[in-house]
Amino acid sequence: MSSDESLLSKYINITIVVAVYWVTSILTVFVNKTLLSSDTVNLDAPLFVTWFQCIVSAVICTVLSGLSRWYPNYITFPKGHPYNLETAKKILPLSILFTAMIASNNLCLKYVGVAFYYIGRSLTTVFNVLFTYAILGQKTSTGCIVCCGVIIMGFWLGVDQENVAGSLSILGTFFGVVGSLTLSLYSIYTKRILPFVNQEIWLLSYYNNIYSIVLFLPLMLISGEHIVVYNYDKLYEPFFWLAITIGGLCGFAIGYVTALQIKVTSPLTHNISGTAKACAQTVLASYWFHEHKSVLWWTSNVIVLGGSAAYARIKQMDMEKVHTEHKYEQLKV
């Protein structure tokens, strides 16, 4: 009876974590969309918005780091010093990718609708396969390559249907592709850097946000966003700062709940959950923004979602096969 209760408790815990991930992830996208391209905020400064979100995350990490030293029995946070020169030299190349990734993601969201956002950024898996081979020299199974082909087909169909509907943003789609590319590179190089920070994801996030605050400054100056922000008519209104702070809190929260979901489930379950969440997000966005899409447009979403889910499953089977073969070789020895 106790084992049944324990199993039930585990399932309830997993359900709660997955639900929190869904709500936080979808809420983050909608909040960012409001900040980036709504008449309510009406601020044409996406880099500034992203920069401020980095500040919020960095402040939270700094506070947690301090509290963990004062109250180690209650709060834990990995030890690290982002202002160390040696650390900066090691982490900075990854932070440049991190900056490019979050900037291009928000720029994509600024120019495309929330419903199309998933399709616009759906090529991450394809870039993962390409860069894993080009940089790491690791080959991918035929099944995974076929899934990548399916995803590309779905992406092109989605772009075509956006064009037919007259709502295609070339700039938004471009930033979506750049976001997918930089996310893929970031994932690969993160694996190389993690040993330097003792596999501590939160410490790496702390460093990235601190360095990105500096990296965004020249980008904002070059783009002229400092002038846009200076002339913004709602700059001193409490609502604006409340909205932009909520966006920063959502950005920090999604990092936490993503790590938590992977921890209580598995990377594969996380991928499946993310794919299902993207489907729900697309349907919700279409309803919320009163967007009527064609059958082919919805077909493109189904193709991309199906290709992504199949890729995750085949990748898991490939990993299990390699693990079994490795275990068999060890037994032979």
Two tokens, residue 323: 């693990």
Counting other chains too, the contacts that 207-210 makes at CB distance below 8 Å and 24 or more residues apart are 207/80, 207/82, 207/87, 207/91, 207/95, 208/91, 208/94, 208/95, 208/98, 209/54, 209/55, 209/57, 209/58, 209/61, 210/58, 210/82, 210/83
Q: pLDDT of 116-145, one tens digit each?
A: 888 888 888 899 889 888 888 888 889 989
Tell me, what's the pLDDT at 282?
Answer: 87
Q: What percent of the chain has pLDDT over 70?
A: 93
The SS3 call for residue 239 is helix
Cβ-contact 90, 197 below 8 angstroms: no
Beta-carbon contacts of 332 under 8 Å, excluding residues fewer than 6 positions away, are none
Average pLDDT, the chain: 87
Q: What is the pTM of this model?
A: 0.87
* Tens-digit pLDDT profile for residues 271-299: 677 778 888 888 888 888 888 889 999 99
pLDDT of residue 199: 82
Instruction: Kindly compute the dihedral angle of the four CA atoms of residues 329, 144, 200, 194, in this order, to the nearest 10 degrees.
Output: 80
pLDDT in tens, 253-263: 888 888 777 77
| Residue that is written with structure tokens 């789609």 in the block | 173
DSSP conformation class of 235 = T
Q: What is the phi/psi pair of residue 243, to 5°?
A: -65, -45
